[in-house]
Chains A and B, each alone.
Chain A
């Protein structure tokens, strides 16, 4: 509560919160703001107005213009908000869970298990993140492309359930599969910070009196870890995680831009900007194919960063009681 009050009093975080509220509003009311055409099979597919390759400038019918292939930019920007939230939230949930599991087990049991888990964490960190995510996506695309993938299919279905509320009994829509591949790649290489932070925090609280007390009254390992240690060590991780939503969206957009994230025509900001790659010499005329979806990404990420910036000060004890430094 105190934190929220501080966030509301600081103009920087206030601006961020207002932006986030606006994006939430757009995401929730997307069907009203940009109604999908009748008889559309999937509202996330951007409606097309013809098949001409040349992008068309904004007019009354298409307020933000259309991209190559006549996909409506306004519609894509509005519905892309939902995709952005989805990607950000799902990646955050899974990376946090993996990080919490690895980090708390390492810290709680210590010894060789700690050593092994931390070395594995370091190995994952030895990869430049984007390169690793690109690699992972291209491997997963190959695997999922051939249909049968054993345990990986199960993972994809779990993700589909969480991301799209997809019925696990049915096969996953290829359109959604593309998004899930990108999400999965970011998750696999995105959990390490959380593991390290939670490990440090648990090591700090493990030796405190209440943990000893719980042990003394005969509580089991799991109970001590889950009921006593985690709740006291988890908060900073949750904050870092929620602030990373912006950067996850940014990385997913980069994958889409390279043609590895969302499929052509899907309401996703990065995918829409991908079209611009074919129009570089005439970008001065077709500015709208970069500017509108680009602005959406920048504002979305900026919103999270503005809030995160202030939150970091509030949570950093060294900065307490000082002016607004970052």
Chain B
């Protein structure tokens, strides 16, 4: 167990460094002129100013030197303050966001976190529940229906699904709306009377005891949450089903039945704990699904989070912002995978007892 976790922890820095090298590699495909944007916040008025900046920040130095500087930052020769350095949280300047990439991300992250948290619950809960149902009713009608559902769900692009939801529930029925809050609600949320504890609307509304705002936030969340989750329901369903099917065939379940346990107890107490172990391993894939999904989902629903920022930045070729968000997402993913692996080690007795 200890060796297993140690090995995972040893690979972690290699992965993180590799990710930064790859991101910097992409960045260094650009010419120094295109990269000045990392340091410049306004368009210089003077001719030749850009060339001076290139020399000043050493943008034509050898790549390894630049990589090191990009990682740890650089002391400004004039003012003496250290600038840049992704290790210091400086991801460069975003042309689209008109401020530092890290600032824009920090501002938009709560919205994305809210969306992701609300999606994770139905994703995992409903997906597993459907998968277990499907396995118990193996090859019966319910199983076939769910099978069709999951293959079809797997084939619908997120943006088509999202647009169809908008078409039906917003344009036709007017039940839900895009964006994050209605105008009246966002006015209240931005006023002084409303305290922002977490920047997560639904939570803040509850903490401020404003049920009307909570309800408004939920109404804006339903469509993007469903859109973000349906694909993962389909995926979770398949994984749970096949793992449960494997478990249901084990001899110890026959033993459990033979000693007279009710079928529900057999499944709940004996099949589920083992059948759900592999489901934990796909946690990493679920995280990938979320990180990928928010880009499209937030764009479709005009939801002001990290994903829609990424999409805006990409379509106006703001490479610095795009690389910043990607770098951050990869680091989240690497740590997420580590947590999943360690968790797996704890849950699976075959690894735990090694």
Query: Which A residues contact B (CB, under 8 angstroms)?
Result: 12, 119-120, 122-124, 126-132, 134-139, 141-143, 145-146, 152, 246, 250, 253-254, 257-260, 270, 273, 276-277, 280-285, 287, 290-291, 294, 297-298, 301-302, 305-306, 309, 323-326
Residues A128 and B330 in contact, CB atoms below 8 Å apart: yes
CB pair A250–B14 under 8 Å, yes or no, is: no
Q: Is the pair B160, A297 in contact by a Cβ cutoff of 8 Å?
A: yes
Is there an interface contact between A122 and B310, defined as CB atoms closer than 8 Å? no
- A145–B30 Cα distance when bound, in Å, is 11
The smallest C-beta distance from A166 to any residue of chain B, in angstroms, reads 23
Contacting residue for B164 out of A136, A294, A323, CB 8 A: A294
A146→B299 CA distance, assembly (Å): 28
- 12 pairs, A vs B, C-beta closer than 8 Å: A123-B15, A123-B22, A128-B291, A132-B326, A135-B322, A135-B323, A253-B157, A258-B315, A270-B159, A285-B171, A294-B157, A323-B139
Beyond known contacts A123-B15, A138-B322, A139-B30: 20 more, CB 8 A cutoff? A119-B14, A126-B18, A127-B22, A128-B329, A128-B333, A134-B326, A135-B326, A137-B314, A257-B159, A257-B299, A270-B159, A273-B160, A280-B166, A280-B178, A280-B302, A282-B171, A287-B167, A297-B160, A298-B155, A324-B139
B55 contacts A by Cβ under 8 Å:
no
Binds A, one of B60-68, B78-86, B146-154: B146-154
Contact status B317-A138, CB under 8 Å: yes
Chain B residues, CB < 8 A from A129: 288, 292
Question: Do B22 and A124 have beta carbons less than 8 Å apart?
Answer: yes
Residue B238 at the chain A interface, CB threshold 8 Å = yes
Given A129-B288, A129-B292, decide whether A301 and B30 contact each other with a Cβ distance below 8 A: no
Q: In the assembled complex, which residues on chain A have CB atoms less than 8 Å from the CB atom of B116?
A: none
Q: Which residues of A contact B139 (CB under 8 A)?
A: 323-325
Chain B residue numbers with a CB within 8 Å of A124 are: 22
The answer to whether the Cβ of B158 comes within 8 Å of any Cβ in the partner chain is yes
Residues of A within 8 A of B330 (CB): 126-128, 131-132
- Contact: A280 with B242, CB < 8 Å? no
Residues in chain B near residue A257, CB distance under 8 A: 157, 159, 296, 299
Q: Min CB distance, B197 to chain A, in Å?
A: 29
| B11 CB-CB contact with A under 8 Å | yes
Is there an interface contact between B295 and A130, defined as CB atoms closer than 8 Å?
A: yes
A302 touches B26 (CB 8 A): no
Tell me whether chain B's interface is mostly helix, strand or loop, or mixed.
helix
CA distance A54 to B333 in the complex (A): 42
Q: Which of B172, B311, B337 contacts A284 (CB 8 A)?
A: B172
Name the B residues within 8 Å of A323 (CB-CB): 138-139
Question: How many Å from the CB of A83 to the closest CB on chain B?
Answer: 15
Interface size class of B (residues with CB under 8 A): 35 or more
B258 in the interface (beta carbon within 8 A): no
Chain A residues whose CB sits within 8 angstroms of the CB of B292 once the complex forms:
128-131
**Minimum Cβ distance to chain A for residue B49 (Å):** 20
Contact across chains for A123 and B18 when beta carbons are under 8 A apart: yes
Q: Smallest CB–CB gap between A242 and chain B, Å?
A: 16
Known: A122-B11, A290-B164, A294-B164. A143 touches B30 (CB 8 A): yes
How far, in Å, is A262 (CB) from chain B's closest CB?
13
Residues of B with C-beta under 8 A to A137: 314
B30 touches A305 (CB 8 A): no
A305 contacts B329, C-beta separation under 8 Å: no
* Most chain B CB within a 10 A radius of its CB, from A122, A129, A135, A254: A135
Inter-chain contact B334/A298, CB cutoff 8 Å? no
Q: Which 6 A-B pairs have the closest CB atoms?
A: A123-B18, A130-B292, A284-B171, A302-B155, A294-B160, A283-B167
Complexed CA–CA distance, A254 and B294 (Å): 12
Residue interface mask B90-112, A partner, CB < 8 A = 1: 00000000000000000000000
- By a beta-carbon cutoff of 8 Å, the part of chain B in contact with chain A is 11, 14-15, 18-19, 21-22, 26-27, 29-31, 34, 138-139, 147, 151-152, 154-160, 163-164, 166-167, 170-172, 178, 238, 241-242, 245, 288, 291-292, 295-296, 299-300, 302, 310-311, 313-315, 317-319, 322-323, 325-326, 329-330, 333-334, 337
A130-B292, A283-B171 given; A260·B329 CB < 8 A: no
CA distance A73 to B159 in the complex (A): 18
Would B333 and A126 count as touching, CB distance under 8 A? yes
Task: Known A134-B311, A134-B314, A309-B151; judge A284-B167 contact (CB<8 A).
Answer: yes
**Contact of A135 with B172 in the complex, beta carbons under 8 Å:** no
Contact A136 B325 (CB under 8 A): no
Give every chain B residue within 8 A of A290 (Cβ-Cβ): 160, 163-164, 167
Q: Measured between C-beta atoms, what is the minimum distance from B113 to chain A in Å? A: 16
- B326-A131 in contact (CB<8A): yes
Complex Cα distance A298/B29, Å?
A: 36
Query: In the complex where A138-B314, A283-B171, A290-B164 touch, is A254 in contact with B245 (Cβ < 8 A)?
Result: no
Residues of A within 8 A of B155 (CB): 246, 250, 298, 301-302, 305
Given A142-B319, A282-B171, A284-B171, A254 and B159 contact (CB-CB distance below 8 Å):
yes
Complex alpha-carbon distance, A247 and B19, angstroms: 24
- A326 near B166 (CB under 8 angstroms)? no
Q: Which residue among B27, B151, B172, B334 has the maximum number of chain A CB atoms within 10 Å of its CB?
A: B151
Q: With A and B bound together, what is the CA distance between A284 and B164 in angstroms?
A: 9
Give the complex CA separation of A311 and B159 in angstroms. Answer: 28
Say yes or no: A119-B18 contact (C-beta < 8 A), given A282-B171, A298-B160: yes
Contact B157 A298 (CB under 8 A): yes
User: Contact: A127 with B163, CB < 8 Å?
Assistant: no
Contact of B242 among A126, A128, A326 (CB under 8 A): A326
Is there contact, CB below 8 Å, between B157 and A123?
no
Q: How far is the CB of B43 from chain A (nearest CB, A)?
A: 17
Which among B30, B147, B159 is the interface contact of A326 at CB below 8 angstroms? B147
CB of B55, distance to nearest CB on chain A (Å) = 21
Residues of A within 8 A of B172 (CB): 284
Among candidates A131, A253, A287, A306, residue contacting B329 with C-beta atoms closer than 8 Å? A131
